[in-house]
A and B are shown apart, each in its own frame.
Chain A
Amino acid sequence: AQSVAQPEDQVNVAEGNPLTVKCTYSVSGNPYLFWYVQYPNRGLQFLLKYITGDNLVKGSYGFEAEFNKSQTSFHLKKPSALVSDSALYFCAVRDANNAGNMLTFGGGTRLMVKP
């Protein structure tokens, strides 16, 4: 079984400050990890993924995420938040040993960036 936890329902940050959105996961095999963002009344937009290699993954719009195997975490980060980053963020995991491509999502974290 695979699962994802996003412990914060909402994260508030001031524009220009760094932001972190937390994610922890559980899989039986090696994890493939993803971050998606959802704007109101829209589908999910892919931000970045970790498959293998460097633990720091860089993605779209200046976002990056750090894979930590010992802590089973994949936190999303950005050095300087923008008001336009305000949205709903989802972490997802897939077990690399699973032949299918089923993603398991966390419950989402709402990011509010205030001017």
Chain B
Amino acid sequence: ETGVTQSPTHLIKTRGQQVTLRCSSQSGHNTVSWYQQALGQGPQFIFQYYREEENGRGNFPPRFSGLQFPNYSSELNVNALELDDSALYLCASSFTADTQYFGPGTRLTVL
């Protein structure tokens, strides 16, 4: 196991609602990246946080936002949920630009 944990494991929401997903980084890691993996596809980069600042963003709308805390844990927030937001959300931690280690993911279902 990588030491990266995510909560919750599963989540069901309805369209228009807001959701917060959480990630705890591996010890010694200062960078967190979030990815969205739709069914049958590869992960897509959402954004990355380094030392509590956003350090890069993929092609996702502003309703996807995040936070990184002083202990390097992180949150992903999604507002105004849409059906297409249903996916596995993966958090990965790393030490700066070194290898990323992934958590088990949070499965989000939007009804």
Chain A interface (Cβ < 8 Å from any Cβ of B): 4, 34, 36, 42-46, 49, 90, 94, 99-108
| Nearest A-chain residue to B6, judged by Cβ | A43
Are A49's CB and B99's CB within 8 A?
Answer: yes
In the complex with contacts A90-B43, A106-B42, A42-B104 CB distance below 8 A: yes
In the complex with contacts A42-B104, A90-B43, A108-B42, A101-B31 CB distance below 8 A: yes
Distance (Å) between the CB of A74 and the closest chain B CB?
Answer: 15
Are A102's CB and B42's CB within 8 A?
Answer: no
Chain B interface (Cβ < 8 Å from any Cβ of A): 2, 4, 6, 31, 33, 35, 41-45, 48, 55-56, 58, 90, 92, 94, 96-97, 99-105
How many A-B pairs have beta carbons closer than 8 Å: the answer is: 63
Distance (Å) between the CB of A31 and the closest chain B CB?
Answer: 14
Are B94's CB and A101's CB within 8 A?
Answer: yes
Instruction: Please report the C-alpha to C-alpha distance between residue A100 and residue B46 in the assembled complex, in whole angstroms.
Output: 13
Query: Hey, which chain B residues are within 8 Å of A42, CB to CB?
Result: 104-105
Are A103's CB and B100's CB within 8 A?
Answer: yes
Instruction: Please report the C-alpha to C-alpha distance between residue A70 and residue B56 in the assembled complex, in whole angstroms.
Output: 30
Q: Which residue from A34, A90, A100, A107 sits with its C-beta under 8 Å from B99? A: A34
Q: List 29 A-B contacts (CB under 8 A).
A: A4-B42, A43-B6, A43-B102, A43-B105, A44-B43, A44-B90, A44-B92, A45-B2, A45-B102, A46-B100, A46-B101, A46-B102, A100-B55, A100-B97, A101-B33, A101-B48, A101-B94, A101-B97, A102-B56, A102-B58, A103-B33, A103-B45, A103-B92, A104-B45, A105-B35, A105-B43, A105-B44, A106-B42, A107-B42
Instruction: Please report the C-alpha to C-alpha distance between residue A99 and residue B96 in the assembled complex, in whole angstroms.
Output: 10
| Nearest B-chain residue to A110, judged by Cβ | B40
- Which of B4, B6, B41 gathers most chain A CB within 10 Å? B41
- Which of A99, A105, A107 gathers most chain B CB within 10 Å? A105
